[in-house]
């Protein structure tokens, strides 16, 4: 079996058996094709690659300036493919199993304060040329902050999931995994207001012969719903209008804010893990570090004894001068 065939069968198995998300499969495919191209350039066979081959490939990735996170992801993809090859009987070993990865840069996720979120929500309420635009923008932001949804989950939300003033939303997450998330009162109010205006607009479109949309945030584009790029542009506009640094604001920082604020107000990690749709609680634990960093900064800035050593030092210096 040629390398391309191995990669193709491996990706199909990931999709069918594990329900891997499309973006994950695309990333795996790119990483494995890059490894295959490197082997071909070295006149090496993909199916016969050795531990030394994998290590030399990672060294070349490092020399090319790829980040630790990218190199770790590529090693993970290679390791999983050869494990699959071993399980299928294509190889008698896994050449990548004993290779220690470069690890990932430990960076805390960017988040927003509660005041900054409030300003973004207020800006969304007044942003737009029409009442319909304002209602849609308000609904987008309230739902995002109330649920911690990924932006793809939000913009592609089916309108059928939002009918009947729901207290919980059913969300289709990564890999087709479903989860339930509760809606806050402000989010439910914003949703009801948007649905009234959205449905009125849909009635007019259907009267003119246009097909009905199945999405809460419909669009005339190819996808049929508001695109990630358009929402990214909108949220930057809300940041400017609300006096929040646009560099700090993305749909994902609202997701981080959702988790961090819940933790700060007493929610437990397991609950936050469920709400975010994380497969592993270790992914959620990063928010404890965000909270610790914020609390440390708070103490250093506002505690009356935070500058005590410096003040004491000045006192001793003044005594010596007397």
Quick one: three-class SS letters along the chain?
CCHHHHHHHHHHHHHHHCCCCHHHHHHHHHHHHHHHHHHHHCCCCHHHCCHHHHHHHHHHHHHCCCCHHHHHHHHHHHHHHHHHHHHCCCCCCCCCCCCCCCCCCCCCCCCCCHHHHHHHHHHHHHCCCCHHHHHHHHHHHHHHHHHCCCHHHHHCCEHHHHCCCCCEEEEECHHHCEEEEECCHHHHHHHHHHHHHHHHHHHHHHHCCCCCCCECCECCCCCCECCHHHHHHHHHHHHHHHCCCHHHCCHHHHHHHHHHHHHHCCCCHHHHHHHHCCCCHHHHCHHHHHHHHHHHHHHHHHCCCCCHHHHHHHHHHHHHHC
Cα dihedral 86→91→94→95 (10° resolution): -160
pLDDT digit string, tens, across residues 95-105: 998 888 776 55
Q: Which of 16-25, 86-95, 114-123, 153-162 has the lowest mean pLDDT?
A: 16-25
Please identify which of the residues 51, 68, 174, 230 carries the catalytic annotation. Answer: 174
Residue with tokens 């990865």: 101
Calpha distance 99→121 (Å, rounded): 47
Q: Which residues of 281-306 are buried (b: 16+ CB within 10 A; e: fewer)?
A: eeebebbeebbeeeeeeeeeeeeeee
Please identify which of the residues 150, 198, 256, 261 carries the catalytic annotation. Answer: 150
pLDDT digit string, tens, across residues 209-259: 888 899 999 998 888 999 988 999 999 999 999 999 998 998 889 988 998
Tokens of 229: 């790029």
Write down the CATH number for the domain with range 3-87.
1.10.150.130
Calpha distance 141→146 (Å, rounded): 8
Please identify which of the residues 73, 134, 136, 278 carries the catalytic annotation. Answer: 278
Q: How many CA atoms lie within 13 A of 129 on its CB side?
A: 0
Query: Domain 114-299 has what CATH class?
Result: mainly alpha
Q: How many CA atoms lie within 13 A of 183 on its CB side?
A: 24
- Give percent of the chain above pLDDT 90: 48
CA proximity to 46, closest of 73, 89, 15, 78: 78
178 φ, ψ to 5°?
A: -95, 150
Q: Which of 71-75, 138-142, 199-203, 313-317 has the lowest mean pLDDT?
A: 313-317
| Residue 252 is among the residues annotated as catalytic for this protein | yes
Q: Burial, 224: exposed, middle or buried (Cβ in 10 Å; 0-12, 13-18, 19+)?
A: middle
Tokens of 314: 């000045």
Task: Write down the pLDDT at residue 313.
Answer: 47
Statement: residue 320 has pLDDT above 80: no
| 231 Cβ contact list (under 8 Å, min separation 6) | 140, 151, 154, 155, 251
CA proximity to 250, closest of 154, 177, 169, 130: 154
| Residue 214 is among the residues annotated as catalytic for this protein | no
pLDDT digit string, tens, across residues 180-218: 889 999 999 999 999 999 999 988 888 888 888 999 999
Calpha distance 180→169 (Å, rounded): 6
Task: List every span in the chain annotated with CATH 1.10.443.10.
Answer: 114-299
């Amino acid at each position: 079996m040629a390398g391309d065939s191995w990669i193709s069968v491996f990706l199909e198995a990931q999709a069918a058996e594990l329900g891997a998300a499309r973006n994950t499969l695309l990333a795996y495919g790119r990483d494995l094709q890059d490894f295959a191209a490197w082997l071909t350039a070295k006149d090496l066979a993909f199916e016969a690659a050795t531990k030394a081959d994998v290590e030399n490939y990672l060294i070349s990735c490092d020399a090319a300036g790829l980040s630790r996170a990218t190199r770790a992801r590529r090693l993970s993809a290679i390791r999983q493919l050869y494990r699959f090859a071993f399980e299928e009987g294509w190889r008698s070993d896994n050449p990548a199993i004993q290779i220690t990865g470069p690890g990932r840069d430990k960076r805390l996720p960017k988040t927003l304060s509660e005041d900054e979120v409030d300003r973004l929500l207020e800006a969304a309420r007044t942003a737009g040329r029409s009442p319909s635009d304002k209602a849609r923008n308000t609904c987008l932001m309230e739902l995002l902050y109330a649920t911690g949804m990924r932006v793809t989950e939000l913009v592609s939300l089916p309108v059928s999931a939002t009918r009947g003033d729901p207290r919980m939303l059913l969300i289709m997450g990564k890999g087709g995994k479903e989860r339930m998330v509760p809606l806050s009162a402000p989010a439910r109010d914003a949703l009801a207001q948007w649905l009234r205006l959205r449905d009125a607009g849909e009635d007019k479109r259907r009267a003119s012969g246009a097909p009905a949309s199945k999405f809460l945030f419909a669009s005339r584009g190819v996808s049929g719903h508001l695109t990630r790029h358009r929402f990214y542009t909108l949220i930057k506009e809300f940041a400017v209008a609300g006096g929040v640094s646009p560099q700090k604001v993305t749909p994902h920082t609202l997701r981080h804010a959702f988790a961090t604020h819940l933790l700060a107000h007493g929610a437990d990690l397991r609950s936050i893990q469920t709400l975010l749709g994380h497969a592993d609680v270790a992914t959620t634990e990063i928010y404890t570090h965000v909270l610790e960093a914020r609390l440390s900064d708070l103490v250093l800035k506002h505690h009356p004894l935070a500058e005590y050593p410096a003040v004491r030092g000045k006192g001793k210096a003044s005594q010596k001068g007397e």
